Amino acid sequence: MSKEIKLRALTGDRPTGKLHLGHFVGSLQNRLVLQDTHEQYVMIADVQGLSANAQDPQKIKDNIYEVALDYLAVGLDPQKTTIFVQSMIPEIAELTIYFLNLVTVSRLGQNPTVKTEMKEKGFDTSVPAGFYMHPINQAADILAFQARVVPAGEDQSPMIEQTNEIVEKFNRLYGPVFEKVSMLASHTPRLMGIDGKAKMSKSLGNAIYLSDSKHDIEKKVMEMYTDPEHIKATDPGHVEGNVVFSYLDVFDPRHEEVAALKEQYRTGGLGDVTIKKRLIEVLETIIAPIREKRETYAKDPAQVMRMLEEGTKRAREVAAQTMAQVKNAIGINYFS
C-alpha cells in the first residue's frame, strides 16, 4: 500500500509569555485543522525569543514549558504534530548562516514586520543584529523542514514574502532544492488588544490568555473600552471601534443575536454592562475547557518535557536531511 504523502506545515511561537486569544484565532485554530491534513511541525522559537531578551534567558526557559502546556491544552496532539524547541536544532542556525548571504541589509530594513516590532519593543537605533535579521532565521525555520504551508496571523505575511525571495535566490544559484511557501491566513488575521490597540500581543500587555481564570476574564472585559459618548444606557452608541463588539464578532457564534444587539446599541437602550456580561460568558465558554485541560497536563511537568524532547529528536532528523541537501547543492560537502 502506498503511503499518503502529506505536505508539511510549520509555525511557531516565541516563548516570551503564555499564549493568548490572538494566537488562538490567528494561528492555533488552523493548526488544529492542519494536524489532520498535513505533516505538521510546531516550533517553540526560543532562539528568536532570546533575540529581544538576551538579558533574561530564564524568562524564555520558563515560557518554553508554558507554551508547551498551551499547545496541549488547545488540542495539539503530539502523535500528529511534532512539537519541538528551536535551539535544540542546530541545523536551523547553520541554514540561517547560508541564507544570510542571500539577503541584503537594506532589504531587511524594509521588512514591515521588523519595522513594527522594532517600534513595539522600543528599539531605536539600538536594535540587536539577531533581532534585525530574524526574517532570515524564520526562513531557515520554515525551509529546514521544507514546509509548504505556514498558518499565521497577518503580521507574518512579509516574513513569508522574504522566505520566498530566499527560495528563489537559493534555487537560482544552487539548483532546485526548495519550493515556494504559502501562508494560511485565518478568519481573524488580527485580533485587537483589550485596550483597543491594533493587535493583541504578549509584549503590549493587552492580552486575554488561554490560561486566564474566570476572574481575570471578568476584570479584563469590564475594563474594556466601548464608546466614550455612550454614558447612559439610553444614549445611542457606536459599534465601530468598540472593543466589546469587535470581540463578540469574532467569538460569539450567535451572529444574528449580535447583529440585533448592535442595532439596539446604535439606537440607544443597551447598557455596556449587558454586552460585557455576554462577552464574559462567551469567552469563558471557550477558555474554560482549555484551562481545565491545561491544569491536567500541568500535574506532570516531566511528561510535558519528555513530549518536547521526543518531538525535537524527530524534528532534528528532518532538518539534518535538508541540511545535507543544501550542502550538496552548494557543493560544500567536502569530505563525503
- The binding site for ligand ATP (CB under 6 A) comprises 11, 13-14, 16, 22-23, 25-27, 152-153, 155-156, 190-191, 199-203
N- to C-terminal Cα distance for the chain?
34
Q: Of the two residues 16 and 326, which places its CB atom closer to ligand ATP in the complex? A: 16
Residue 272 has φ and ψ, to the nearest 5°, of: -60, -35
Q: Cβ 25 to ligand ATP, closest distance in Å? A: 6
Q: Cβ 14 to ligand ATP, closest distance in Å? A: 4
Q: Of the two residues 51 and 102, which places its CB atom closer to ligand ATP in the complex? A: 51
Residue with cell 455576554: 278
Q: Cβ 145 to ligand ATP, closest distance in Å? A: 16
Q: Of the two residues 52 and 280, which places its CB atom closer to ligand ATP in the complex? A: 52
Q: Of the two residues 23 and 262, which places its CB atom closer to ligand ATP in the complex? A: 23
Q: Is 299 exposed, middle or buried (0-12, 13-18, 19+ CB in 10 A)?
A: exposed
Q: Cβ 206 to ligand ATP, closest distance in Å? A: 9
Q: Of the two residues 191 and 326, which places its CB atom closer to ligand ATP in the complex? A: 191
Q: Of the two residues 26 and 78, which places its CB atom closer to ligand ATP in the complex? A: 26
Q: Of the two residues 171 and 203, which places its CB atom closer to ligand ATP in the complex? A: 203
- Which is nearest to 32 in space by CA: 84, 76, 79? 76
Q: Cβ 265 to ligand ATP, closest distance in Å? A: 24
Amino acid at 3: K
Q: Cβ 117 to ligand ATP, closest distance in Å? A: 6
Q: Cβ 27 to ligand ATP, closest distance in Å? A: 4
Q: How far apart are CA 104 and CA 100, in angstroms?
A: 8
Q: Which residues are bridge partners to 11 per DSSP? A: 42
Q: Of the two residues 52 and 261, which places its CB atom closer to ligand ATP in the complex? A: 52
Q: Cβ 13 to ligand ATP, closest distance in Å? A: 4
- Residue, CB closest to ligand ATP: 26
